[in-house]
Amino acid sequence: MAADTLRVGGLVPLTSIDYPGELAAVVFTQGCAWRCVYCHNPDLLPARGDSEIPWSQIIEFLDNRRGLLDAVVFSGGEPTFQAALPQAIEQVRDMGFKIGLHSAGIYPRKLERLLPLIDWIGLDVKARQADYHLITRTRDSGEAAWHSAELVLASGVPHQFRITAHPDWLDDSDAQWVRQRLLAMGASSVVIQQGRLHG
Ligand code: SF4
């Protein structure tokens, strides 16, 4: 799949918080197969967006930021939702940028193939495996996400696991359970953030 078919729903030109320690731009890709109760980016969930940014415009922007930005983070939506992601990442890598990826680990096999191409990953882990569907409203989502967490750890790619605590969906004790489980699996960075329901 050609890189220029990547559907982009948004761009943040400069951030110092989306890739720890690096100045980065964030490319928000369109589309996600899950429907989390607290999703913060509902406009990015459909496969097609109302105001997509052509990939050529992203490349032109990055071309002008060589030497000024360290990295490009692919976020979403769920970046691995799109088949053009590996090619888009390779194109940006070839321009000299480090690659960050935000993912919910929806597609473990796709993620496994991507890991050698990326320099840092922020992976959401939303709940205990058995409780996942209560948040994602998607069957078998827990198996996918926890398998993705195992793959990230096995890869050695620098990571940050992110847990969203919410009184209705993942209370503090459950969030701590998830954190301890990830640490026991070998995670070196696990953060708990406080969530809010969209709308
Ligand atoms: S996986 Fe992420 S982008 Fe997809 S619905 Fe859940 S919170 Fe939203």
Cα distance between residue 68 and residue 143, in whole Å: 40
Ligand 1 atom nearest to 106, measured from its CA: 1
Ligand 1 atom nearest to 136, measured from its CA: 6
pLDDT tens figures, 179-194:
999 999 999 999 999 8
CA 64 to centroid of ligand 1, rounded, Å:
31
Ligand 1 neighbour 104 (Cβ under 6 A):
yes
Q: Under a CB-based contact definition with an 8 Å cutoff, are residues 69 and 23 in contact?
A: yes
Q: How far is CA 184 from CA 23, 78, 153, 176, in A?
A: 31, 26, 11, 12
pLDDT tens figures, 74-104:
999 999 999 999 999 999 999 999 999 999 9
Q: Under a CB-based contact definition with an 8 Å cutoff, are residues 41 and 144 in contact?
A: no
pLDDT at 197: 54
CA 67 to centroid of ligand 1, rounded, Å:
32
